[in-house]
Amino acid sequence: MPRTRSIPDTEVLALARGLYAAKGEKAVSFGSVGQAAGLAPSTLAQRYRSVEGMLAAAAIAGWDALIEASAQADQAAADKGPQGYLKLIDASEAPLLLMLGNRDAQARARAADWRAAVEAALIRRLGQGDKARSGAQALFAAWQGQLLWDGSASGLKDIARRLS
């Protein structure tokens, strides 16, 4: 009978993402993540089979959390416009998740699912048809670009106004 996990995967994988973000891929090993989590490296090797598997799992877990947060933001901002919706989503980890999961097909699929869900929520707020669809794509790209380059989402209100 397997032992109960003293530290859940979500916490271990968040630590792995944090190490990756702070020090790069070479700093992520079963030893370094194990030390941060207070677990033996062999425990992590049993859970994830390889460091690459652990990094893929970290990306997938990150995308799953972001998908859930975006769905909650969609409900919370049901009566708000596109910028109100985007303000409720903390997507600051998205660029890291893209880098981290780039080599894993399942992580890339989760990223595509997240983008599609956010764009669908933006379309509902911008109207219907091709104009709303292309506006949602442009707003998503502008939002992600701003987060990537300067960590803020300033100016989205003006962009959303021009697109609607």
pLDDT digits (tens, 9 = 90+) for 28-84: 999 999 999 999 999 999 999 999 999 999 999 999 999 999 999 999 999 999 988
Q: Per CATH, which fold does 9-163 belong to?
A: Tetracycline Repressor; domain 2 (1.10.357)
Spatial distance between the Cα atoms of 19 and 3, rounded to a whole number of angstroms: 26
Domain parsing of the chain, residue ranges: 9-163
Which pLDDT belongs to residue 16?
95
Q: Which long-range contacts (CB under 8 A, 24 or more apart) does 4-8 make?
A: 6/39, 7/37, 7/38, 7/39
State if pTM tops 0.95: no
